[in-house]
Amino acid sequence: MEIKFERYFFQSEFLSPVNGFDSVSVPTEVRIDPLTKRRSRIITWALPDKGKFDFSKMIEESKGCIFCPENVLLKTPLFLKEIVPEGRISIGNAVGFPNLFPAGAYGSVIVLCKEHFLNLHEFTPEVYEDGFKVAVEIIRKTMAYDPDARFWQISQNYLLPGGSSILHPHLQVIGDPIPTNEMESLLEASASYFQRNQTLFWNDLVRTEEGLGERYIATSGKVHWFVSYAPIGFNEVCATVEGHSSLTTLSQEEISAFAKGIVSTLKYYYDKNLNSFNLGFYSITDEDHHQLLLRIISRSPIQPYYLNDWTSFEVLQSELTLNIYPEVLCREIRPYFS
Ligand SMILES: [Zn+2]
């Protein structure tokens, strides 16, 4: 096994005005991801929390949107008849249809629920279970029509800081015949890990993290929840599942385990006064060295004088910053999974 947890420690020293101009020393840590070798920067300070945002005005101004129950079956696009003869896919309260503004070869939207807005503690496992079942159907039916479309993102952008202009909870399901940058990086690194070790990186990582216990959150059947050693976003929580590279082969129990863990993570975010997030599955068919991976990260909460969390570090240096030690996040979030 070849899992290495490498890091650099830096101390920035100066004379602080808040400390009578005495010398202070502020730590920063740079960690190297054990798979991709990408660097993440842990900053040990954060701006003060501004409390919970009142969404009532925003809800009032935007309700009755295209995804609300009175409009969703009238105003959203239909799939090609060759892909989904019935036009849209509905399971429980979730409804899937093509994206009017696609960003790939196959772009779909899944409206998750009838409610126009949900606070993060109001999402239920059933909301995600229904949504993921619709995603599985969209991927299966699209791949029956075009088997080359085997690289899929199943994502959620929640609220404006997460990149969504529509408040109503929904997923994006995007399929292409080529991988995204991140998929390619994961595939190349895990194939090269396999060549060197003859073992699957994700199984080795889960076993190592379980042994160390500092970043391993919980397990449910073959679904493992953990915090990355070198996260790529704020409050990043990950899950992977043994024996699957794609969402389409998951059992009902495994779909349900993912749904429950997402809801637990969102409850933790809510308690931390966060409200916006991104989540995404990297779902790839026919890749022996890949394992289905889910990442959830929080974004700067929506609030007056909103502060963007992507600075020149992220957009110009491709170096991701975060402000909580992964081990602290793991300790804080573990009770939400029990
Ligand atoms: Zn709505």
What is the Å distance from ligand 1's center to 166 Cα? 8
What is the Å distance from ligand 1's center to 71 Cα? 9
Give me the pLDDT at residue 305, please.
83
- Measure the CA–CA gap between 138 and 135, rounded to whole angstroms: 5
Give the burial class of 165: count Cβ atoms within 10 A of its Cβ; 0-12 exposed, 13-18 middle, 19 or more buried: exposed
In Å, what is the CA distance from 179 to each residue of 3, 266, 334? 25, 28, 33
Residue closest to 229 by CA, chosen among 320, 138, 315, 167: 320
Contact 301, 241 (CB under 8 A): no
What is the Å distance from ligand 1's center to 330 Cα? 34
C-alpha angle 8-293-126 in degrees, rounded to nearest 5: 130
What is the Å distance from ligand 1's center to 1 Cα? 49
- Measure the CA–CA gap between 337 and 322, rounded to whole angstroms: 22
Going 268 to 272 to 277 to 282, the CA torsion angle's sign is: negative
Residues, CB within 5 angstroms of ligand 1 (ion) = 65, 67-68, 116, 168
Helices (H), the chain: 56-62, 69-75, 125-145, 181-197, 201-212, 252-271, 312-317, 326-333
What is the Å distance from ligand 1's center to 115 Cα? 7
Give me the pLDDT at residue 48, please.
81
Burial 48-67 (b: 16+ CB within 10 A, else e): eeeeebebeeeeeebeebeb
Residue 214 has pLDDT above 80, yes or no: yes
> What DSSP string describes 242-265?
TT-SSGGG--HHHHHHHHHHHHHH
What is the Å distance from ligand 1's center to 53 Cα? 19
Q: Which residues pair with 94 in a beta bridge?
A: 91
Residue 333 has pLDDT above 90, yes or no: yes
Residue 47 has pLDDT above 90, yes or no: no
What is the Å distance from ligand 1's center to 304 Cα? 23
Length of the chain: 338
What is the Å distance from ligand 1's center to 50 Cα? 27
What is the Å distance from ligand 1's center to 63 Cα? 5
Domain 56-337 class, CATH top level: alpha beta
Chain-centroid distance of CA 82 in Å reads 31
What is the Å distance from ligand 1's center to 60 Cα? 10
What is the Å distance from ligand 1's center to 265 Cα? 24
Residue 320 has pLDDT above 90, yes or no: no
Residue 105 has pLDDT above 90, yes or no: yes
Segment 64-96, tens digit of pLDDT? 999 999 999 999 999 999 999 999 999 999 999
Residue 57 has pLDDT above 90, yes or no: yes
Contacts of 151 (CB under 8 A, 6+ apart): 175, 176, 177, 178, 179, 180, 183, 284
Average pLDDT, integer, range 219-237: 96
Residue closest to 88 by CA, chosen among 27, 274, 100: 100
Segment 135-152, tens digit of pLDDT? 999 999 999 999 999 999
Q: Which residues pair with 8 in a beta bridge?
A: 30
* Amino acid of residue 226: F
What is the Å distance from ligand 1's center to 49 Cα? 29
Instruction: Write down the mean pLDDT value for the chain.
Output: 96
What is the Å distance from ligand 1's center to 284 Cα? 31
Least confident of 118-122, 140-144, 314-318: 314-318
Give me the pLDDT at residue 49, please.
85
Confidence of residue 166 (pLDDT cuts 50, 70, 90): very high
What is the Å distance from ligand 1's center to 171 Cα? 14
Give me the pLDDT at residue 2, please.
87
What is the Å distance from ligand 1's center to 151 Cα? 29
Least confident of 24-33, 99-108, 285-294, 315-324: 315-324
With H, G, I as helix, E, B as strand and everything else as coil, classify residue 81: coil
What is the Å distance from ligand 1's center to 243 Cα? 37
Residue 131 has pLDDT above 90, yes or no: yes
Segment 245-279, tens digit of pLDDT? 999 999 999 999 999 999 999 999 999 999 999 99
- Measure the CA–CA gap between 60 and 159, rounded to whole angstroms: 15
- Range(s) within the chain of domains with CATH label 3.30.428.10: 56-337
What is the pTM (predicted TM-score) of this model? 0.96
In angstroms and rounded to an integer, the radius of gyration of the C-alpha atoms of the chain is: 21
- Measure the CA–CA gap between 47 and 235, rounded to whole angstroms: 15
Give me the pLDDT at residue 306, please.
82
